[in-house]
């Protein structure tokens, strides 16, 4: 059987074409699978990168929030300590002011008591002076009567008896006022000189 070029091509085509096509088809299927898997892996990689970035951002935000909270807490603590320090200073100042106020109150009370005592003394002195002036006036009136309480009255001398009784009443008024104000010793000379030492049962005829 003769073997020519046409026959050879036909046989070669039949012998090698089918496996080549099969191989090409297998390679195409494999490439498609590989490409699909590559796309899946790429998507997963992209999703992983997105998740990683979100996690990083969340961590950064958390750290920033924590740092801000720490700064705010420290600032609040400093403010509280500052207020406590100011309150302690004010408390100390208030204690000092309270001590000063108490001292002034004591001083004012002492001064007021002294003033009251002085007023009382002045009032007593004024009262004493007024009583002494009244006694001086009454004693002058008694002396002006010209009556001696130790002289015996004449019988039938009604005018003399009236003057005697008036003088005796005046003397009693003077003595009572002096005794009420503790001035008997002060005017003891007047009382001794003008007091009634003799009592007459009968009048002088």
With 0.85 as the threshold, say if the pTM is over it. no
> How much is the mean pLDDT over the chain?
83
- Burial (CB count within 10 angstroms: exposed 0-12, middle 13-18, buried 19+), residue 135: buried
pLDDT tens, position by position, 181-205: 999 999 999 999 998 888 877 777 7
Residue 27 pLDDT > 80, yes or no?
no
| Pick from 29-43, 92-106, 109-123, 186-200: least confident | 109-123
pLDDT of residue 184: 94
């Amino acid at each position: 059987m003769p073997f020519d070029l046409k026959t050879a091509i036909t046989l070669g085509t039949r012998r090698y074409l089918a496996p080549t096509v099969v191989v090409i088809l297998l390679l195409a299927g494999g490439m498609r699978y590989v490409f699909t898997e590559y796309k899946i892996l790429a998507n997963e990689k992209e999703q992983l990168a997105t998740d990683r970035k979100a996690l990083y951002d969340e961590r950064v935000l958390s750290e920033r929030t924590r740092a801000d909270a720490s700064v705010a807490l420290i600032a609040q603590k400093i403010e509280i300590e500052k207020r406590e320090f100011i309150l302690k200073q004010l408390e100390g100042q208030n204690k000092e002011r309270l001590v000063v106020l108490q001292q002034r109150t004591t001083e004012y009370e002492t001064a007021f008591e002294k003033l009251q005592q002085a007023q009382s003394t002045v009032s007593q002195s004024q009262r004493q002076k007024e009583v002494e002036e009244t006694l001086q006036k009454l004693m002058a009136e008694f002396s002006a009567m010209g009556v001696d309480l130790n002289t015996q009255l004449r019988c039938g001398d009604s005018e003399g008896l009236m003057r005697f009784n008036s003088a005796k009443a005046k003397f009693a008024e003077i003595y009572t006022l002096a005794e009420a104000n503790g001035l008997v010793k002060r005017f003891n000379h007047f009382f001794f000189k003008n007091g009634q030492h003799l009592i007459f049962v009968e009048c002088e005829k």
